[in-house]
Copies of this chain bind each other. A is one copy, B any other.
Amino acid sequence: MSVSIQRLQNRLFDLHSNKLFETAVIFIIIFSALVTGVKTYEINTSLDQTVQWLDALITLFFLFEVTIRLIAEPRTLDFFKKGWNVFDFVIVVASLMPVDGNDTVLLARLLRIFRVLRLISVIPELRVLINSLLKALPRMGYIALLMFIIFYIYAAIGSSLFNAINPDLWGNISVALLTLFRISTFEDWTDVMYETMTVYPLSWIFYLTFIFLTAFVFLNMMIGVVLDVMQQEQKQYDRERDDSEADEVHYIKAEMDQLSAKLDTIETLLRQSKRHD
């Protein structure tokens, strides 16, 4: 029994490590994305039927593929130790939700869209890319916090001062935060400013200081992250180089010690020959 399971596992492992199978998975993910895309067009009933059949087939295939990988794993629970496996598993399980129920039809459709994300876990280069993006996240966290503090203070000031002028933009702190985000993208920010300048002629100070502050912090954030990453790379690189340099210096020192030892021998010999005299 156990042997036949072992054999099945090996076979399944061979299957999902197969280059052809991997390519098939990539193509079915892309095909699934296209089917998702087609569903957004207004299509006639017969095509709609086909699309739903295809969708069901894709769902089954993904379930099949994840099950294979789950079984092929020597110890089943080790499967969940890799982040990308959990990522795949959650996406596939979430897309199993039936689209028939009236209330959840939209949610089920949305969940199936996320199957496109499996492209990231399948293509190694994208996986590397995402991993390197995740590494930059904590470094950006504190800068995002600093940015949020600036936004919060300006939103509180803005909603206190300009509330009466335009409640749609400055009605409360949440709306004001959205308005400030809009201003930070320069999207029609002068319209917002000219409106408040009719009541508070000096309110351009509010907008200009906000733009300068966010731009300045953002610029320094970019520079900071670049420098941070560069320094790390540089240090690692130099460490490797230093090792090889250290080897060479070691070699020279070792040779010198040998020379020194030889000279000691010669000196001893000479002193002996002298004593003989």
Residues of A within 8 A of B (CB): 33, 36-37, 40-42, 106, 109-110, 113-114, 116-117, 119-120, 123, 125-126, 129-130, 132-133, 136, 140, 142-143, 145-146, 149, 152-153, 155-157, 159-161, 163, 172-173, 176, 178, 181-182, 185-190, 204, 208, 211, 216-217, 219-220, 222-227, 229-231, 233-234, 237-238, 241-242, 248-249, 251-253, 255-256, 258-260, 262-267, 269-274, 276-277
Question: What copy number does this chain have within its complex?
Answer: 4
A264: chain B residues at CB < 8 Å are: 262
Across the interface, do A272 and B274 meet the contact criterion of CB distance under 8 Å?
yes
Please determine whether A260 and B258 come into contact, CB atoms closer than 8 angstroms.
yes
Query: Known: A126-B146, A264-B262. Contact between A185 and B182, CB under 8 A?
Result: no
Tell me the complex Cα distance, A33–B186, Å.
Answer: 26
Residue of B129, B146, B189, B273 near A277 (CB, 8 A) is: B273
**Sample of 10 A–B contacts (CB below 8 Å):** A37-B152, A40-B176, A113-B153, A119-B145, A132-B220, A219-B222, A222-B223, A223-B229, A266-B270, A269-B274
